[in-house]
């Protein structure tokens, strides 16, 4: 048997490369402050939304945003979506997808850098690291230190904070699916449904692991979005760029002083790498590891200020502008970078869907009628020769209040009707029904036509007996011995 190729055993590139733990350094600057703002707003929206109340009257829940799975409703402020209107939700999801395309075409990977939940929670956990263990150097030293009692205590304390944040995150999620104050009480008195505990457990553990430990690895190895984005980006896309024409060859301030004119502006201080939440060195160029959070711009601008060189060695710009700069060309105006033809196209599609949804929402009726005829028997022949057909009719009252509606026979001359809650002696061309709030009422309707009526189509119209006078109609078939 041949011995394995010794080259393979000594190859510096194994099939698996161990992760280098990232310890980002604290930094201040305009992009860091913007990141603080976005973090505060997104977390406030996530944790706070289920607690916003919205008065819909006594017959509907008063939670502003609620996915009511038990009653199959989705409430968002004054909008209520029924199961048969799922196309609204589909439309919103399509808008969210196109919105990501739109943002990418305008400002590159801004979603990844600022608002993606993985980014926001990782950032939050990194601040916990700083709070408990200190800044980068202290954390690196502690990481390399042996497991003493003090290190174990620190770790347990930090992981407990992680767990509290993760639990709060999972707990906030379930509040979107039930009345938040009620669910909190039921949760702690062990009266909540099992699925609530299971969901909180799963989300607590995923937040704890993804935000606390896996961090940038989720972005680099697990998330499909960076792969899609790289396919969407081109030389006109805004991204964080290191101006190598200005920075290279890099060398310390001392070296540059000794050899004037031989070195570029990069003093090789590695501050841009030290602050990077994914550990990427932007001087190697754009990469899937770079979420374009721009913290390296803050770091490098500070270094440039300190050594008295112009800011912008690392900058937000397009590759095209970066290349133009090397030839001494001016940047294109910012509005031209943002308002590209593809951005305009995405915006038109995005806003078109949005306007279509708004129009459909604004013009939809809150009263609907559907119906189906009994198939067996298709008709009944009465002793006086008249013919009776039976129908199951459903009236949907989408208002959060009780209503009255009148259903009437349209067409089918001489026919009368009554319902299963009436005496047939009260049969008439139209009958009034009480509809419960926010519900579908099912009624059996009997329609009787005189002897000799030929098979024909007719309508059952419904109109609400209130100031809105909303109406709807359903086409039905009247069957006789002569056929359908
Ligand atoms: S922070 Fe600026 S100067 Fe320092 S290494 Fe990075 S690019 Fe060079
Ligand atoms: S390289 Fe710069 S922009 Fe990219 S992730 Fe790191 S700090 Fe953020």
What is the structure's pLDDT at 480? 93
**Mutation probe of ligand 1 site: the residue of 27, 250, 313 with most atoms within 8 A of C-beta:** 313
Maximum Cα interatomic distance, the chain, rounded to a whole number of Å: 118
- Helix, coil or strand: residue 190: coil
- Tell me the three-class secondary structure of 266-291, residue by residue: CCCCCHHHHCCCCCCCHHHCCCCCCC
Q: Which residue has the higher pLDDT, 347 or 237?
A: 347
Task: Tokens for 406, please give them.
Answer: 């009148």
What is the structure's pLDDT at 338? 81
Contacts by 424-429, CB closer than 8 A, 24 or more apart: 424/448
pLDDT tens for each residue of 395-435: 999 998 999 999 999 999 999 999 999 998 999 999 999 99
Lowest average pLDDT, out of 129-133, 233-237, 333-337, goes to 333-337
Q: How far is the CA of 23 from the centre of ligand 2 (A)?
A: 13
Does the pLDDT at position 478 exceed 90?
yes
Q: How far is the CA of 294 from the centre of ligand 2 (A)?
A: 5
Q: Which atom of ligand 2 is nearest to the CA of 291?
A: 5
Does the pLDDT at position 326 exceed 90?
no
Q: How far is the CA of 113 from the centre of ligand 2 (A)?
A: 8
299 CB within 6 A, ligand 1? yes
317 CB within 6 A, ligand 1? no
Residues ≥6 apart with Cβ < 8 Å to 479: 373, 378, 379, 389, 455
Q: How far is the CA of 114 from the centre of ligand 2 (A)?
A: 11
Tell me the average pLDDT of the chain. 92
Percentage above 90 pLDDT, the chain: 79
pLDDT tens for each residue of 26-74: 999 999 999 999 999 999 999 999 999 999 989 899 999 999 998 899 9
Q: For 172-194, what is the mean pLDDT? A: 97
Protein residue closest via CA to atom 6 of ligand 2: 276
Residues ≥6 apart with Cβ < 8 Å to 71: none
What is the structure's pLDDT at 16? 72
318 strand-pairing partners = 238
Does the pLDDT at position 165 exceed 60?
yes
Q: For 157-166, what is the mean pLDDT? A: 98
Helix axes 180-188, 149-174, angle to 10 degrees: 130
Does the pLDDT at position 389 exceed 70?
yes
* Nearest-angstrom CA–CA distance, 352 and 442: 37
| Contact status, residue 259 vs residue 197, Cβ threshold 8 Å | no
Protein residue closest via CA to atom 7 of ligand 1: 266
pLDDT tens for each residue of 96-115: 999 999 999 888 899 999 99
Element (H, E) at 59: none
| CATH superfamily membership of 367-478 | Immunoglobulins (2.60.40.10)
Q: Which atom of ligand 2 is nearest to the CA of 240?
A: 3
Q: For 442-448, what is the mean pLDDT? A: 96
Protein residue closest via CA to atom 4 of ligand 1: 269
Element (H, E) at 241: strand 238-242
**Mutation probe of ligand 2 site: the residue of 290, 301, 313, 315 with most atoms within 8 A of C-beta:** 290
Does the pLDDT at position 309 exceed 90?
yes
Q: What is the number of other CB atoms lying within 10 angstroms of the CB of residue 362?
A: 7
Q: How far is the CA of 278 from the centre of ligand 2 (A)?
A: 7
What is the structure's pLDDT at 156? 97
Please state the domain extents for the chain: 30-227, 234-332, 367-478
Task: Tokens for 4, please give them.
Answer: 């394995």
Does the pLDDT at position 208 exceed 70?
yes
Q: Which residue has the higher pLDDT, 286 or 188?
A: 188
Ligand 2, CB cutoff 6 Å, lining residues: 240, 275-276, 278, 280, 282, 290-296
334 falls in which pLDDT band (50, 70, 90)?
A: confident
* Nearest-angstrom CA–CA distance, 100 and 232: 11
Q: What is the number of other CB atoms lying within 10 angstroms of the CB of residue 283?
A: 20
Q: For 187-207, what is the mean pLDDT? A: 97
Does the pLDDT at position 3 exceed 80?
no
267 CB within 6 A, ligand 1? yes
| Contact status, residue 272 vs residue 31, Cβ threshold 8 Å | no
Q: Which atom of ligand 1 is nearest to the CA of 250?
A: 8
13 falls in which pLDDT band (50, 70, 90)?
A: low
Does the pLDDT at position 336 exceed 90?
no
| DSSP for 364-408, written as a single string | --SEEEEEEE--SSS-EE-TTS-EEEEEEEEEEE-SSS-EEEEEE
Give the burial class of 277: count Cβ atoms within 10 A of its Cβ; 0-12 exposed, 13-18 middle, 19 or more buried: buried
Q: For 178-183, what is the mean pLDDT? A: 96
Protein residue closest via CA to atom 7 of ligand 2: 276
Does the pLDDT at position 5 exceed 70?
no
């Amino acid at each position: 048997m041949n011995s394995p190729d010794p080259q393979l055993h000594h190859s510096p590139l194994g099939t698996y490369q161990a992760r280098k733990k990232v310890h980002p350094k604290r930094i201040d600057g305009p992009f860091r402050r913007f990141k603080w703002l976005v973090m505060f707003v997104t977390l406030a929206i996530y944790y706070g939304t289920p607690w916003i109340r919205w008065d819909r009257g006594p017959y509907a829940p008063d939670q502003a945003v609620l996915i009511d799975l038990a009653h199959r409703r989705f409430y968002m402020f004054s909008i209520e979506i029924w199961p048969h209107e799922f196309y609204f939700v589909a439309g919103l999801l399509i808008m969210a997808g196109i919105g990501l395309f739109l943002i990418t075409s305008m400002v590159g990977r801004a979603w990844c850098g600022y608002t993606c939940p993985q980014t926001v929670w990782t950032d939050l956990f990194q601040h916990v690291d700083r709070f408990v263990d200190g800044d980068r150097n202290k954390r690196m030293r502690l990481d390399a230190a042996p497991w003493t009692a003090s290190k174990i205590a620190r770790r347990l304390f930090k992981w407990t904070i992680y767990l509290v944040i993760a639990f709060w995150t999972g707990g906030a999620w379930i509040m979107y699916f039930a009345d938040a104050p009620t669910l909190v009480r039921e949760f702690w008195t062990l009266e909540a449904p099992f699925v609530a505990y299971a969901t909180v457990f799963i989300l607590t553990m995923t937040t704890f692991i993804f935000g606390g430990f896996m961090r940038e690895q989720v972005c680099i190895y697990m998330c499909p979005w960076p792969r899609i984005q790289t396919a969407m980006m081109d030389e006109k896309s805004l991204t964080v760029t290191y101006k190598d024409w200005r920075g290279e060859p890099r060398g310390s301030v001392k070296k540059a002083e000794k050899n004037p004119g031989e070195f570029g502006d990069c003093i090789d201080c590695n501050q841009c790498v030290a602050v990077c939440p994914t550990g990427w060195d932007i001087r190697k160029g754009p990469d899937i590891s770079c979420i374009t959070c721009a913290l390296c711009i803050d770091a490098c601008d500070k270094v440039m200020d300190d050594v008295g060189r112009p800011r912008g060695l690392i900058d937000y710009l397009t590759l095209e502008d970066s290349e133009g700069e090397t030839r001494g060309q001016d940047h294109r105006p910012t509005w031209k970078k943002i308002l590209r033809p593809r951005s305009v196209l995405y915006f038109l599609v995005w806003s078109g869907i949005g306007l279509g949804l708004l129009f459909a929402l604004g013009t939809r009726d809150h009263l609907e009628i559907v119906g189906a005829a009994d198939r067996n028997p298709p008709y009944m022949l009465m002793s006086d020769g008249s013919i009776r057909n039976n129908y199951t009719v459903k009236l949907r009252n989408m208002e959060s209040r009780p209503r009255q509606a009148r259903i009437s026979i349209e067409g089918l001359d001489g026919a009368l009707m009554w319902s299963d809650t009436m005496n047939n002696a009260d049969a008439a061309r139209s009958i009034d029904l009480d509809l419960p709030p926010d519900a579908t009422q099912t009624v059996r309707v009997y329609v009787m036509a005189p002897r000799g009526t030929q098979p024909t189509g007719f309508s059952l119209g419904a109109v609400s007996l209130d100031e809105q006078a909303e109406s709807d109609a359903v086409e039905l078939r009247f069957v006789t011995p002569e056929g359908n």
